[in-house]
């Protein structure tokens, strides 16, 4: 199947999720929506059937998030729990880890957060300072993480730390499952201007002792395992942004059809219609790149998927910000009222430009990875 043409099953999934999203709408209860999405099998569509999932891929999960976003009720933890953590455990976890976590993630009864960002590392995963050292059969973790979503509702956090390579002495990334009640694992909510339903936290790991089986995958796999989670994260962030942008444009189009000035709807004026048409085009183009990225990832081509996932995230973030801005502008003063619910999206839309990696770092990636230009850092 071409990445540009969805299968009949995917078309049916898109329609079904759109119906669910429309029923819950912008003022949804995220707990109720999460529970219903789980019962309908949407949370685990990308996870293996053998472990309670739908047997699909990131392409399917991106459809779920995009359609919920287009209905005004995106679930941010879809990016984190099934997409990042579920994928990493499904690909690299032990059979015991898969049995412990994947069915619960698919059923919505267990949630995992993901901890990579640090105060001094930013987008540079090579400068992560959270370290893990062996102590007998155990691991001891020390470090800090910031802007970690949903830790308060997560049963565990998949933490990216670094261990010392016995051969070279260099530090390499490794992934650890840290239970929420592990001694020495503390969280502090960050006071955000962003009014999202999912809270952001700073994490402190102070001599957190973990058993040997807390390590996910091979200690020497390093970046392979890390990017197995980061590429789906970028694809799903694109889905989040595209859905949000579609929601904003749909509200603006509805308003432009009904709002009448000088005996005709304002949508009849090209100054109103053309910018909305451009926003729609940009969102559709971003979706094509997202579909390509998901297709490549689900096909097992991690290298090509990395480039496409970064491009998709960049394109979707830009398209989302422009779509929301134009939607608010279309409504004029009404676009800033709580009644129409668009003004709050201005801040949310900016997230898709900043997280999980900034637009500038994506441009750096494309300039030296895709175009072969020298690095500036």
**What are the average pLDDT values for consecutive 10-residue runs of the chain, which has 377 residues?**
79 98 93 97 98 97 98 96 97 96 97 94 75 94 96 96 71 91 97 84 98 89 78 97 98 97 94 98 98 96 95 98 98 96 94 93 95 90
pLDDT value at residue 163: 87
Count of residues for the chain?
Answer: 377
Burial of 296 (0-12, 13-18, 19+ CB in 10 A): buried
Q: Where are the domains of the chain?
A: 8-111, 113-216, 223-370
Q: Which one of 66, 67, 118, 233 is the catalytic residue? A: 233
Dist CA 349 CA 245 (whole Å): 8
pLDDT value at residue 125: 67
The encoded tokens of residue 251 equal 């509200």
pLDDT value at residue 197: 76
Assigned CATH class of 113-216 = mainly beta
pLDDT value at residue 224: 78
pLDDT value at residue 145: 97
CA distances from residue 294 to 92, 106, 130, 297, 301 in whole angstroms, order as listed? 19, 19, 30, 5, 10
pLDDT value at residue 334: 97
- Residues facing residue 261 across a β-bridge: 264
Interacting residues of 101 by C-beta distance below 8 A, sequence separation 6+ = 85, 86, 89, 93, 110, 112, 156, 177
pLDDT value at residue 127: 76
* Residue pair 350/241 in contact by the 8 Å Cβ criterion: no
pLDDT value at residue 220: 72
pLDDT value at residue 218: 82
> Per the omega criterion (within 30 degrees of 0), is the bond before 237 cis?
no
CA distances from residue 74 to 159, 220, 350 in whole angstroms, order as listed? 24, 36, 15
The residue written with tokens 């078309």 in the block is: 11
**Backbone φ, ψ for residue 157 (5° rounding):** -125, 130
pLDDT value at residue 169: 58
Assigned CATH class of 223-370 = mainly alpha
CATH of domain 8-111: 1.10.540.10
Annotated catalytic residue 318:
no
């Amino acid at each position: 199947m071409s990445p540009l043409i969805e299968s009949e099953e995917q078309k049916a999934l898109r329609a079904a999720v759109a119906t669910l999203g429309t029923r819950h709408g912008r003022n949804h209860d995220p707990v109720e929506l999460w529970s219903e999405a789980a019962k309908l099998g949407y949370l685990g569509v990308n996870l293996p059937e053998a472990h309670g999932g739908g047997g699909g891929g990131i392409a399917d999960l991106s459809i779920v998030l995009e359609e919920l976003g287009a209905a005004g009720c995106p679930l941010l933890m879809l990016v984190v729990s099934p997409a990042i953590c579920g994928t990493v455990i499904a690909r690299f976890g032990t059979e015991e880890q898969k049995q412990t976590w994947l069915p619960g993630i698919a059923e919505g009864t267990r949630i995992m957060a993901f901890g990579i960002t640090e105060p001094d590392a930013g987008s540079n995963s090579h400068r992560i300072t959270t370290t893990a050292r062996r102590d007998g059969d155990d691991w001891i973790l020390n470090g800090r993480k910031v802007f970690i979503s949903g830790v308060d509702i997560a049963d565990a956090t998949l933490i990216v730390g670094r261990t010392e390579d016995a051969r070279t002495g260099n530090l390499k990334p490794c992934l650890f499952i840290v239970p929420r009640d592990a001694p020495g694992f503390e969280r502090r909510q960050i006071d955000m201007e962003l009014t999202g339903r999912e809270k952001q936290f700073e994490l402190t790991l102070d001599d957190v002792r973990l058993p040997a089986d807390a390590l996910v995958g091979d200690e020497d796999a390093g970046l392979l395992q890390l990017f197995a989670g980061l590429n789906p994260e970028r694809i799903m962030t694109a889905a989040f942004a595209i859905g949000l942008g579609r929601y904003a444009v749909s509200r603006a189009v509805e308003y432009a059809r009904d709002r009448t000035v000088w005996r005709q709807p304002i949508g009849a004026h090209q100054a109103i219609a053309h910018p909305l048409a451009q926003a729609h085009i940009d969102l559709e183009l971003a979706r094509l790149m997202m579909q390509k990225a998901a297709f490549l990832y689900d096909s097992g081509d991690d290298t090509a998927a990395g480039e496409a996932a970064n491009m998709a995230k960049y394109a979707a973030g830009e398209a989302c910000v422009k779509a929301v801005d134009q939607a608010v502008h279309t409504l004029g003063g009404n676009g800033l009222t709580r009644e129409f619910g668009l003004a709050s999206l201005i801040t949310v839309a900016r997230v898709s430009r900043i997280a999980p990696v900034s637009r500038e770092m994506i441009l750096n990636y494309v300039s030296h990875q895709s175009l072969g230009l020298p690095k500036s850092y």
